[in-house]
Amino acid sequence: MPVRYSQDHQYIIVEDGVGTVGITNHAQEKLRDVTLVELPHVGEQVKKSGAVGVVESVKAARDLYSPVSGEILGVNEALIGKLQLVNEDAVGAGWIYKIKLAEPSELDTLLDREAYLAYVQEQGRCATHQTEEISYAT
């Protein structure tokens, strides 16, 4: 089961037309201690890039956008009582929801592991460059 990644730092693992979605390790490291996960509603129809929930931490809040179109089949009820799963095992026990894919071809627009890691590395370089520009300007 190959993992695909969005530029919103979410992953999707697809098996038999059903995707398991969560935030990436990179995202949970940036957020740090997760304090709230707003889960999507089971049965809801969502479009690719449509808002489906929120993840909040002491440090920040970030909207969750669906990496694909489809129907929300289930949510990770374990997160209700144990939010730290997102930090402890983001790509395992910390998954957020399951979605039945409406358009499997949308997976082709997502990044594979190597492309995602390159994207994260490039973002880090851009952030460092922006910080340098700000410090030079002051």
Percent of the chain scoring above 70 in pLDDT: 89
What phi-psi label fits residue 36: left (phi over 0), alpha (psi between -120 and 50 degrees) or beta?
A: beta
Quick one: pLDDT at residue 60? 87
pTM of the model: 0.88
Contact in structure between 94 and 28 (CB atoms under 8 Å)? yes
CA 74 to chain centre: 16
Say which residues have a Cβ less than 8 Å from residue 90's Cβ, sequence separation at least 6: 22, 23, 24, 25, 27, 28
**pLDDT surpasses 70 at 128:** no
pLDDT in tens, 8-63: 999 999 999 999 999 999 999 888 899 999 999 999 999 999 999 999 998 888 99
Q: What whole-number distance in Å separates Cα of residue 44 and Cα of residue 41?
A: 6
Average pLDDT of the chain?
89
- DSSP codes of every residue in 71-95: EEEEE-THHHH-THHHHH-TTTTT-
pLDDT band at 92 (very low <50, low <70, confident <90, very high): very high
Residue ranges and CATH numbers for the domains of the chain are 3-111 (2.40.50.100)
Token match 């993992």: residue? 3
pLDDT digits (tens, 9 = 90+) for 93-125: 999 999 999 999 999 999 999 999 999 998 876
**Run of H or E residues at 120:** helix 113-137
pLDDT at 125: 66
